[in-house]
Amino acid sequence: MRNVWTIYRKELNSYFVSPIAYILLLMFALVFGFFFWNALGMFVYYGIESQMRGQMYPMNVNEQVIRPLLSNISVVGLFFIPMITMRLFAEEKRNGTIELLATSPIRDAEVIVGKWLAAVTLYASMLLCTALNFSFLFRYGNPDWKPLAIGYLGLLLQAGALLAVGTFISSLTRNQIIAGAVTFGVCLLLWVLEWVSGYETAMWARVLAYMSVITHYESFGKGVLATKDAIYYVTLIFLGLFLTARSMESLRWRS
Amino acid sequence: MITVKDLTKKYARTTAVDQISFSVEKGQIVGFLGPNGAGKTTTMRMLTCFLPPTSGTAMVAGIDVLEQPLEVKKRIGYLPEAPPLYQEMETNAYLKFVGNLKGLRGTELGQRVDYVIERCAIGDVRTKLLGKLSKGYRQRVGLAQAIIHNPDVLILDEPTAGLDPKQINETRDLIRSLAGDHTIILSTHILPEVEQTCQQVIIINRGKLVATDSVHNLQNRARGAESVLVEVANRYGVLDIASVQRRLEQIPATARVVPKQTRENLCTFEIETSAKDGFKRADIARAVVESGWDLNELRPAAVSLEEVFLQLTKAEGAETLASAKGAQ
């Protein structure tokens, strides 16, 4: 456990000592800021329009602002996840520092979990930026906080799963660009697999759709804590980290 | 301290290390010598548990590298060919991180960091980014991280590669000063390095063990028999080389006397002995002085390891060498 902490601190340091973390945070905040501003503008526009027509449409901040915005976050996050994970192992392999880790009295699993936790922390701090935007809604409106909290939990689980996949891909190569590009491709695929359910109902299509990360976010987005979806994400996290461990071990046998 | 038996590492097509056996006593400095691609790094990586051997066993401090890698890793300090430094870290933070990795905590960690910084003379760069250090400093920080947990065994892969002559000397001094506390294995393809730093040499070529012995014995072995160089002078006039040679040949156990490098009143003779235990050097001195000549110098004709190495590694490459010469 202490070793996980050692690796975790070192990884977090290398994110936050270098400009990596700040640039990612800045860009993410900028993009999401625009989304937020846009969504709020729409909401206000519809509100005024419905008053002018004299018809009182039911207006709901949770349904009309928070929910779509949360799915926006997960889309934007998709672009940032490869940038977070691509360096995790690829950089160590290129610099030869992997030899230091592999010859120190720590387990591979401790290295992997430490690195993954650092990546999750960076993503969580990006989510924190978005929480800043939402706080304005609470200042001037009266939204329900529970669906928002569950939405955030879903986002964190989803990102954790994709970050685990990214960690695995980073351990396969010593080239960060390759790691980043492959991670992006795989994440995007895991994302759009769900589309087949739109026109096909056969078994294979249902399996593909089930594998999609977006399928399992729906319930979280609605503010429902569904155990089976949480289990899907946790399984994917374990799978990603397990594959990383296998990949680190095979590094020794091939080298 | 280190026992290696029939250690073999095979890759898909090649055998990088082929049934190597050797052992190293506690507190010794051992030179791991071989041309590039001989299997030095692979062997070291197996000792440090970075690579598992295909067959054979390696024991460090009585512990098998395959059975209890974590215990072995605790006892080993390793400096790979390229020092494993994180560019974006400061020296101090880096050493603390490595100390943590090796299981050091709290005040003990602080003390060890201070100690290795002083020992490796890197106090000047304590708060500098590792990415900005010069090659010499990078190497020394690399050594510092290797000794931070006071390991029983130090494994250094080409510790002086790419340094300038002054830095090479400093690094060698540092390594020599570390012996005693630690058992050291260092690899190199530079021969004088072994002669200057090591007590024992392990020569490998193409993955095979060619020789393992003390530096001293290896030099003798290549020579076949011990020989001595004697410089004789005549301060009163011309030196009669023939008569000196005759006198020297009369000394017991002399096989051959070869005069070399002649000046008018000065000559160096190389005397080869037939006896196993060598000359009584006093006999030579007395013979020269009693005959009225001056004895300027009397020293063993040391063969450089370079020659030993070439002789030993040539055996295998002899065929290719011969064919190459034939082609010319």
The answer to whether the Cβ–Cβ distance between B45 and A255 falls below 8 Å is: yes
The rounded distance, in Å, linking the Cα atoms of A67 and A204 is: 30
Work out the angle at residue B20's Cα, subtended by the Cα atoms of residues B16 and B23, and round it to the nearest 5 degrees. 135
* β-pair type (B15-24, B29-33): unpaired
Tell me the mean pLDDT in the region B295-301. Answer: 81
Q: Which residues of B202-227 are buried (b: 16+ CB within 10 A; e: fewer)?
A: bbbbbbbbbbbeebeebbbebbeebb
Of A95, A98, A104, the CB nearest to B101: A104
Higher pLDDT, A19 or B211: A19
The answer to whether the Cβ–Cβ distance between A95 and B85 falls below 8 Å is: yes
Tell me the mean pLDDT in the region B275-285. Answer: 70
When pLDDT is cut at 50, 70 and 90, the band that residue B92 belongs to is very high
Average pLDDT over chain B, rounded to whole? Answer: 83
With 80 as the cut, is the pLDDT of residue A253 above it?
no
With 70 as the cut, is the pLDDT of residue B176 above it?
yes
Domains assigned to chain B: 2-214 (3.40.50.300), 224-300 (3.30.70.1340)
When pLDDT is cut at 50, 70 and 90, the band that residue A154 belongs to is very high
The rounded distance, in Å, linking the Cα atoms of B26 and A168 is: 41
When pLDDT is cut at 50, 70 and 90, the band that residue B320 belongs to is very low
The answer to whether the Cβ–Cβ distance between A3 and B82 falls below 8 Å is: no
A65-95 per-position pLDDT tens digit: 888 898 888 888 888 999 999 999 999 999 9
The rounded distance, in Å, linking the Cα atoms of A34 and A27 is: 11
Work out the angle at residue B89's Cα, subtended by the Cα atoms of residues B83 and B93, and round it to the nearest 5 degrees. 100
Identify which of A201, A233, A202 has the alpha carbon closest to the alpha carbon of residue A216.
A233
The answer to whether the Cβ–Cβ distance between B101 and A255 falls below 8 Å is: no
The answer to whether the Cβ–Cβ distance between B101 and A107 falls below 8 Å is: no
Of A95, A105, A255, the CB nearest to B74: A105
Q: Which residue of B has its CA nearest to A13?
A: B89
B23-57 per-position pLDDT tens digit: 888 888 998 888 878 888 899 999 998 888 889 99
Q: What percentage of chain B's residues is helix, strand, coil (to nearest 5)? A: 40, 30, 30
Q: Which amino acid is at A86?
A: M
| pTM (two decimals) | 0.82
When pLDDT is cut at 50, 70 and 90, the band that residue B147 belongs to is very high
| Angle at which helices A87-95 and A176-192 cross, to 10° | 160
What is the pLDDT, as a whole number, of residue B325?
Answer: 45
Q: Does B144 touch chain A (CB under 8 A)?
A: no
Tokens 């625009």 -> residue: A34
What is the pLDDT, as a whole number, of residue B289?
Answer: 87
What is the pLDDT, as a whole number, of residue A86?
Answer: 94
Paired tokens of A45: 């526009």
With 90 as the cut, is the pLDDT of residue B231 above it?
no
User: Using an 8 Å Cβ cutoff, are A61 and A146 in contact?
Assistant: no
With 50 as the cut, is the pLDDT of residue A146 above it?
yes
With 50 as the cut, is the pLDDT of residue A2 above it?
yes
What is the pLDDT, as a whole number, of residue B223?
Answer: 57
A20-35 per-position pLDDT tens digit: 899 999 999 999 999 9
